[in-house]
Amino acid sequence: MSNGIILALIGAALATLLAGIGSAKGVGLVGEAASGVVSVDPSKFSKVLILELLPGTQGLYGFLSALLILNRTGILGGNAVELTTAQGLGFLAASLPIAVVGLISGIIQGRTAAAGVSITAKKPDHNGKAIIMAAMVETYAIIALLVSILMIVNVDVAV
């Protein structure tokens, strides 16, 4: 296995791992807050569930980026192409925007959504405002995903 393929695999792993860790931490934070609200008023379950789902998207974005890397390198289909070290570094670099931003934004979005659970507990009719506040953090994860995708598709690989 060439250095290029190893570097591309490291990039795919980082995108999945770091963004996944951010999502897991964020979803966990909201779950803790939501559990307290639902234990007091089970009718608020659907409102807090939406807030809990929001930080989970970063992990999906990291997974999507990893799939794109594995597909572009042929690893996904079992027909891996030979990559130079420079190409492998290109894929590794392309994974970093969603890996790093996914990690941080997943946690921050979890904190924001957990605060939104408090809004929902006290004023359920303001749930939409809580969702909007948490969704604002999502903007940066989407930007990072787009940058990673643009970088992945522009690594020159002769297939």
Domains of the chain, start order: 3-153 (1.20.120.610)
pLDDT at residue 22, as a whole number: 98
User: Nearest 5°: phi and psi at 102?
Assistant: -60, -40
pLDDT at residue 158, as a whole number: 65
Q: Are the CB atoms for 131 and 50 separated by under 8 Å?
A: yes
Cα torsion angle, 66, 67, 68, 74, sign = positive
Angle in degrees, 0-180, between the axes of helices 85-122 and 3-40, rounded to the nearest 10: 0
Q: Going by C-beta distance under 8 Å and a sequence separation of 6 or more, which residues neighbour residue 77? A: 71
Smallest CA-to-CA distance from 129 within 139, 140, 117 is with 117
User: Nearest 5°: phi and psi at 75?
Assistant: -65, -40
Q: Are the CB atoms for 82 and 2 separated by under 8 Å?
A: yes
Q: Going by C-beta distance under 8 Å and a sequence separation of 6 or more, which residues neighbour residue 159? A: 74, 81
Q: How many residues does the chain have?
A: 159
pLDDT along the chain (159 residues), means of 10: 94 98 98 96 95 96 98 89 94 98 98 96 94 96 98 85
Q: Are the CB atoms for 50 and 133 separated by under 8 Å?
A: no
pLDDT at residue 1, as a whole number: 78
